[in-house]
Amino acid sequence: MSEPKFFESINILAPKTLLPNETKLSEIAARLGYPMVLKPRRGSSGIGVVVCNDDEELLFFMKRGRDLVAQQFVEGTEITIDVLGDGDGNVLSLVPRQRLKVRAGEVERAVTLDDGLFREQILCIAGHLQPFGAINIQCCLAGAGLYFMEINARFGGGYPLADEAGAAFPETLLDMLADRPCASRLGIYKRGLVMSRYETSVYMDIKELQDSSIRELTPLSGKIS
């Protein structure tokens, strides 16, 4: 996750963010207001992210967690941008996607968007961070504009959509590691591509199973011997 002052330092709009362990409770409430978001400083899949509506809830959740981030609540459209950097501040590829449906912190349905709204900010962020490899950046499109909230130094869980759209991160990374020339792929991907994940059940006769221990433990006659 990005440091609380990073976006502010490069003039990128972001929700007001504080570190509760370093800030008095009264100051957190005064500066962020309610509702506010409280989340682990280093986390994954939305685990431990809560919305606090008053001092009592804030104090309760602060006692339960350590190394937390308190953030201004911003309501809008959540966007994740998959970014590939060359380590020198240049962006080789980026694909923004709108998260249409999330389950257990992982994107279940999403659609790729045009990068025109995000490119300037992403190039600015990458120019300062100089990431080598894949990162994903999360922002929220609200009434006042784009609020940038997180930078994760990893492939995002929804990257398969970006890859299907033409992001080509793995192929480009292999070229980078082999010191082969890497052409920029900025803007080279399919807009409006929708990903929908789903679960499926598989059924088969127990006699077809290779695991004999399961067959031995399962009574087929309706009687327990």
Ordered DSSP codes for 106-134: EEEEEEE--GGGTHHHHHHHHHHH--EEE
pLDDT in the model for residue 214: 61
pLDDT in the model for residue 90: 95
Percent helix, strand, coil in the chain, to 5, is: 30, 30, 40
The residue among 79, 68, 38 whose CA lies nearest residue 56 is: 38
Averaged pLDDT score across all residues of the chain: 86
pLDDT in the model for residue 2: 45
How many CB atoms are closer than 10 A to CB 135?
23
Q: Which amino acid is at 198?
A: Y
CATH of 77-196 among 3.30.70.370, 3.30.470.20, 3.40.50.300, 3.50.50.60: 3.30.470.20
Flag whether pLDDT at 225 surpasses 50.
Answer: yes
pLDDT in the model for residue 223: 61
This prediction has a pTM of 0.78
Flag whether pLDDT at 55 surpasses 50.
Answer: yes
Flag whether pLDDT at 7 surpasses 70.
Answer: yes
- pLDDT single digits (tens) 110-139: 999 999 999 999 999 999 999 999 999 999
- Where are the CATH 3.30.470.20 domain residues in the chain? 77-196
Flag whether pLDDT at 219 surpasses 80.
Answer: no
Label residue 25 by pLDDT band (50, 70, 90): confident
- Where are the CATH 3.30.1490.20 domain residues in the chain? 15-72
Fold of 15-72: Dna Ligase; domain 1 (3.30.1490)
Angle at 111 (CA atoms; ends 129, 146), nearest 5 degrees: 45
DSSP 3-state assignment of 53?
coil
